[in-house]
Amino acid sequence: MNTITITRKDEIVMRLVHYFITEENYTPIIVNGVKDEVWLENSEAKYKIVRINSNYIHNEEQLETDLFKIRNVMRQIKKKTVSFSMNTFNIFLDVNDNVKLEDEKHIKSVLIKDGMGEDATNLSKFFPGIETKLLKDTQGLDLIINVTEDINAKTEKNNRIYEATFKPKKIIVTYLLMALCVFMFFVSFLVGKGELDSYTLYRMGAVSGFAIKSGQIWRLITGTFLHAGLIHLLVNIYSLCIIGMQLENFVGKKKFLAIYLISAISGSLMSSLFTTGISVGASGAIFGLLGSMLYFGYHYRLYLGNVLRAQIIPLILLNL
């Protein structure tokens, strides 16, 4: 029977990885070409990257080479996650006494010898609570089992959340909003001269600063379902179709409708303040959806990094 041998470094790494994943919501990153290193990422944390290095650093030259590698990996991660700035918490486990660790811009380097006691106290300055939440009582095979079970449970929980967020959903609200815009377009020909006629648009509820100040608050909503001509309608319907379907699928029907209505009202208010005549169209609501999509894409950029760069940002620029 083979005997499992766990070194002191292995135990420290497992305890630290267990803490950062289960308590600080970090996720592992696959970094090509590294050995005896663990890289973790949390885009919402102060230190977006935590790196644990088990390799022996025996002189200043090797330390500088190591820091150069960190900066290179940081550039790659920043590009992938569309991040403008990034701080890395760099943990060394084995450094020669003659090597002096100094902080660099965006890189905080610390030496951990056993991960407990004074080390845990020092780490608590950057990660409050690590002293009490770091695994201490288990060793050897029990430590491996506990770490594996806890990380698997955390990963399974996160997977359920992401699956619920990204799985395809039935689109309803977007289609209803599109249908309402098209319906109002045809109604304008039944009650007046069509959507190119200003008087007809005003009668149907176009946004008018004077009328809104007079108490006709409902125009803040009705004006967003009217359009000045077929081209105007088709452009907004197309944008609503592309953005609306994606965002509704991500955030759900209720949140999507809330975002749309708040954006529509906000756009109408801005229009009423800066437009002397009347204004119509779903553009204000659509730009609100674009902003929400941009925030959503940035929040989940670790998973939507390529989509954010290749689809969301270009679509926003196109609409602008």
For residues 248 and 301, membership in a common domain is answered with yes
Please tell me the predicted confidence (pLDDT) of residue 4: 56
Domain endpoint, select from 134, 166, 198: 166
Q: Band of the pLDDT at 61, cuts 50, 70, 90?
A: very high
Each residue of 226-276: pLDDT tens digit? Answer: 998 899 999 899 889 888 888 898 888 999 999 999 999 999 998 888 877
Distance (Å, whole) CA 202 – CA 191? 12
High-pLDDT (> 70) share of the chain, %: 85
Look at residue 144 and tell me whether its pLDDT is greater than 70: no
Cβ atoms of 23 and 134 closer than 8 Å: no
Cβ atoms of 83 and 43 closer than 8 Å: yes
Domain endpoint, select from 135, 166, 197: 166
- Say if 1 falls within a structural domain: no
Total of domains in the chain? 2
Domain endpoint, select from 124, 141, 166: 166
Element (H, E) at 19: helix 8-22
What's the pTM value of the predicted model, to 2 decimals?
A: 0.65
Cβ atoms of 126 and 89 closer than 8 Å: yes
